[in-house]
Amino acid sequence: MSYPDMRPRRLRRNAAMRRLVEETRVAPAELVLPMFVKEGLTEPRPVASLPGVVQHSRDSLRKAAVEAVQAGIGGIMLFGVPATRDETGSGGIDPDGILNVAIRDVVAEIGDSTVVMSDLCLDEFTSHGHCGLLTPGGEVDNDATLAAYAEMAVAQAAAGVGVVGPSGMMDGQVGVVRRALDAAGYQDVAILAYAAKYASAFYGPFRDAVESALEGDRRSYQQSPANLRESLREVELDVAEGADMVMVKPALPYLDVVAAVRDRVDVPVAAYQVSGEYAMVEAAAANGWLDRDRVMLETLTSIRRAGAQVILTYWAVEAARLLRAGY
């Protein structure tokens, strides 16, 4: 026998062989599109730091939801941008608040042909931009916030949402939301828990998209990028409190966390490829420095390979189209 005896390249010889032995495939049904809807808009408005992403009007949101269904993606995640904000984020609970209205609109338009999810957090609705209610001293008050999340969850369920996504990183948020939903007769509404959510600088463009003027930072409730074991504890607590799915966020800089969480729990694991991850690639591609489509699919494949079976990404519809075209 000639040297080398072992030739892994045999399995890479041509496209047919490579396709046969591919370990990871990304399917459109695993992708979830985050969408923004702004109160009072008559036309969709581009978000400068997220090329290709818009703040929708109620009308354009309905149309985009239909397109998402046609692209075959697994779900959409709705975020509301209210016209006015207050200290307690009351617009998130108000049945006529923009997010609850948008849920109703979308469910009326597409029913359950794709999974309709909603962000369950106060930051889009509070004047100070924090995910919770503040004490007179300006600290985020965990337990007072839980009561608000419970009301918000019931309002979203009443609007017809299929999955709520508590994303505020308050202790006990999953349990309180589960109990509130059950008590109000919404046992069938599922919880996608933002279980391991880091205090990340990659959320910058999102804050433009929701026009949040955050005072201070979120480090007293979101996790330090330095910590992995802390995520495992957060995830275990959320599963014990009734999370149907758990999420790691951001995605690409935290693939070790995705993999560790996947090993630890049996519920579906999601990962959120956040605004800054998207913006980095778009900016480089706009300069001709990266092949955008290839990088897009490479990042999604990597997140999938690390163990996420649901991926939230601003590229969801586009990636689904590329995948269907056999890219």
Closest CB to ligand PBG among residues 92, 162: 92
Closest CB to ligand PBG among residues 186, 206: 206
Shortest distance, position 250 Cβ to ligand PBG, whole Å: 7
Catalytic (active-site) positions = 197, 249
Bridge partner residues of 198 (DSSP):
223
Shortest distance, position 211 Cβ to ligand PBG, whole Å: 12
Cβ atoms of 55 and 114 closer than 8 Å:
no
Shortest distance, position 30 Cβ to ligand PBG, whole Å: 18
* Residues lying near ligand PBG in the complex (CB under 6 A): 119, 121, 123, 167, 203, 206, 218, 274-275
SS (H, E, C) the chain: CCCCCCCHHHHHCCHHHHHHCCCCCCCHHHEEEEEEEECCCCCCEECCCCCCCEEECHHHHHHHHHHHHHHCCCEEEEEEECCCCECCCHHHCCCCCHHHHHHHHHHHHHCCCCEEEEEECCCCCECCCCCCCECCCCCECHHHHHHHHHHHHHHHHHHCCCEEEECCCCCCHHHHHHHHHHHCCCCCCEEEEEEEEECCHHHHHHHHHCCCCCCCCCCCCCECCCCCHHHHHHHHHHHHHCCCEEEEECCHHHHHHHHHHHHHCCCCEEEECCHHHHHHHHHHHHCCCCCHHHHHHHHHHHHHHHCCCEEECCCHHHHHHHHHCCC
Shortest distance, position 268 Cβ to ligand PBG, whole Å: 19
Closest CB to ligand PBG among residues 201, 286: 201
Closest CB to ligand PBG among residues 55, 275: 275
Shortest distance, position 164 Cβ to ligand PBG, whole Å: 12
Closest CB to ligand PBG among residues 231, 275: 275
Q: Which residue type sits at 191?
A: I
Phi, psi of 188 (to 5 degrees): -90, -5
Shortest distance, position 16 Cβ to ligand PBG, whole Å: 37
Q: How far apart are CA 152 and CA 159, in angstroms?
A: 11
